[in-house]
């Protein structure tokens, strides 16, 4: 009897390779949005005065699209470094939530794998991975799904950055791509506003950012983010 | 600050945040209010960036209909809200901005 049960379990087990490909396949449609984003980043980085090597290095060391575009924008406007670091910290805080969200599924994974998977845990890789994790609760080799999604995104990001850097050297700067930054952030922000506290956080942060616009060192951005989060928490509590 | 130092510190910081709970899961239990406040971070930070981009023109707040970026941005908000499509949002937003600039 117990043998039979075991056989059934083995039959629903997946191989590392099939899990890897499941991750790759799930990630592919997202590349449609990621590749132009990477190219825009590459072009903006050159416009802001970064060398091609620094622009490419940021894509592999920071490996976070919106934080990279924001960093480049802050470098262009001569923002002090500690404000840039603080802004990167605030903007990427959400990754702690992703980390918390995938952590229960990766408990059995060895540390060296955890290090690699953490490096690959971007918005887009997280999004498809957590859907796979929650839909296939008893699957084995789960970490391979995140690896497949992560490597797919990583490759697309490095290559599209390089393409943007090459194009950036050719395309005249008068094309002024700066408005695509605001548009990209709009596209990222809207799905993140899922309920009333989210909306309250966004509106409070936006209004504060306008009121605090003239603060030095772009401190208004940090203040506005904190006010927004506090307002969202207040809205959460008063429900 | 040197750009390489920014890249390096930003990279280490981002990696540490991505690793945080994957590494700590067995060791600590994190409170619910922290979970909830983390969820609010993307909408707050992103709109703190977007609002001035749309509303501040040459250092002045411009809430009028003359503000092309405001109108293009509002259209983009609608597109993003209805479709949740990044490419379409960028495409339509840029299209509206270029159209307004050409017409006016």
Q: Can you give the pLDDT at residue A201?
A: 95
Instruction: Supply the pLDDT for residue A217.
Output: 61
Q: How confident is the model at residue A176 (pLDDT cuts 50, 70, 90)?
A: low
Task: Among A4-13, A77-86, A116-125, name the one with the lowest average pLDDT.
Answer: A4-13
Q: Is B60 helix (H, G, I), strand (E, B) or coil?
A: strand
Which of A76, A187, A234, A239 to mutate to test binding with chain B, by most B CBs within 10 Å of its CB? A187
Does residue B35 lie within any of the structural domains?
no
**How far apart are the C-alpha atoms of A94 and A106, rounded to whole Å?**
19
Do B53 and B9 lie in a common domain?
no
Say if residues A206 and A190 touch (Cβ distance below 8 Å). Answer: no
Count of residues making up chain B? 104
Query: What mean pLDDT is predicted for residues A66-74?
Result: 90
Q: Cβ distance B69 to B97 under 8 Å? A: yes
Of A115, A121, A183, the CB nearest to B76: A183
Q: What pLDDT score was predicted for residue B85?
A: 82
HSE of A17 in the Cβ direction (CA atoms, 13 Å)? Answer: 0
pLDDT greater at residue A90 or residue A230: A230
Stretch B68-94: mean pLDDT: 92
Same domain, B59 and B21: no
> pTM of the full predicted structure?
0.72
C-alpha distance from B9 to closest chain A C-alpha (Å): 7
* A143-159 per-position pLDDT tens digit: 999 999 999 999 999 99
Asked if residue B5 belongs to a domain, the reply is: yes
Contact A107/B at CB under 8 A: yes
**What is the distance in angstroms between the Cα of A199 and the nearest Cα belonging to chain B?**
7
Residues B46 and B66 in one domain: yes
* Strand (E) or helix (H) holding B68: helix B68-83
Cα A202–chain centre separation? 18
Same domain, B21 and B71: no
What phi and psi, each to the nearest 5 degrees, are found at residue A145? -65, -50
Query: How many structural domains is chain B composed of?
Result: 2
CA-nearest residue of chain B to A87?
B45
Where along chain A do its domains lie? Answer: 2-176, 193-239
What pLDDT score was predicted for residue A75?
Answer: 92
Contact B14 A197 (CB under 8 A): no
Other beta carbons within 10 angstroms of residue A51's beta carbon come to 13
Output the 3-class SS for A27-90: HHHHHHHHHHHHHHHHHHHHHCCCCHHHHHHHHHHCCCHHHHHHHHHHHHCCCCHHHHHHHHHH
Give yes or no: residues B51 and B8 share one domain.
no
pLDDT mean over B76-88 = 90
DSSP state letters, A175-234: G--HHHHHHHHHHHHHHH--SHHHHHHHHHHHHHHHHTTTSGGGHHHHHHHHHHHHHHHH
Range of the structural domain that residue B63 is part of: 40-103
- pLDDT at residue B64, rounded to an integer: 92
Nearest Cα to Cα of residue B43 among A187, A55, A137:
A187
A36, A113, A190, A191, best to mutate vs chain B, most B CBs in 10 Å:
A190
Cα four-point dihedral sign A72, A95, A125, B11:
positive
Calculate mean pLDDT across residues A42-69. Answer: 94
| Cβ neighbours of A121 in B, within 8 Å | 18, 22
Give the Cα separation of A125 and A160 in Å (integer). Answer: 17
The residues that bridge with B61 in the sheet, in sequence order, are B56
Q: Are B93 and B58 contained in the same domain?
A: yes
Q: Is residue B44 part of a domain?
A: yes
The one-character DSSP state at B31 is P
A54/B7 CB distance under 8 A: yes
Residue in B7, B35, B61 nearest the CB of A210 = B61
Tokens 């416009």 belong to residue? A47
Name the least confident of A37-46, A71-80, B22-31: B22-31
Average pLDDT over residues B8-33: 88
């Amino acid at each position: 009897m117990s043998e039979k049960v075991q056989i059934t379990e083995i039959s629903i087990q997946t191989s590392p390779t099939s899990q890897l490909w499941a991750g790759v396949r799930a990630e592919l449609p997202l590349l449609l949005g990621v590749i132009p984003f990477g190219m825009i980043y590459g072009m903006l980085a050159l416009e802001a005065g970064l060398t091609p090597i620094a622009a490419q290095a940021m894509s592999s060391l920071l490996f976070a699209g919106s934080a990279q575009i924001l960093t480049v924008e802050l470098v262009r406007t001569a923002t002090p470094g500690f404000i840039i670091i603080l802004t990167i910290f605030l903007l990427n805080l959400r990754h702690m939530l992703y980390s918390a969200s995938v952590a229960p599924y990766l408990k059995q994974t060895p540390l060296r794998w955890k290090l690699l998977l953490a490096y690959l845990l971007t918005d887009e890789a997280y999004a498809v991975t957590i859907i796979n994790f929650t839909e296939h609760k008893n699957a084995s080799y789960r970490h391979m799904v995140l690896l497949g999604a992560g490597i797919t995104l990583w490759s697309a990001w490095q290559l599209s950055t390089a393409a943007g850097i090459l194009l950036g050297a050719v395309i005249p700067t008068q094309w002024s791509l700066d408005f695509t930054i605001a548009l990209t952030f709009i596209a990222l922000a809207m799905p993140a506003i899922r309920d009333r506290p989210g909306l309250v956080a966004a509106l409070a942060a936006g209004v504060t950012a306008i009121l605090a616009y003239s603060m030095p060192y772009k401190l208004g951005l940090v203040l506005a983010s904190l006010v927004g989060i506090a307002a969202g928490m207040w809205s959460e509590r008063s429900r | 600050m040197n750009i390489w130092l920014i890249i390096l510190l930003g990279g280490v910081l981002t990696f540490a945040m991505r690793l945080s709970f994957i590494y700590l899961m067995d060791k600590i239990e994190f409170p619910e209010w922290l979970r909830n406040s983390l969820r609010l971070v993307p909408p707050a930070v992103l709109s703190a960036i977007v609002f001035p981009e749309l509303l501040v023109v040459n250092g002045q707040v411009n809430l009028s209909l003359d503000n092309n970026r405001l109108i293009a941005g509002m259209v983009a908000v609608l597109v993003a809200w209805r479709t949740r499509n990044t490419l379409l949002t960028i495409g339509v937003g840029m299209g509206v901005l270029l159209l307004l600039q050409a017409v006016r």
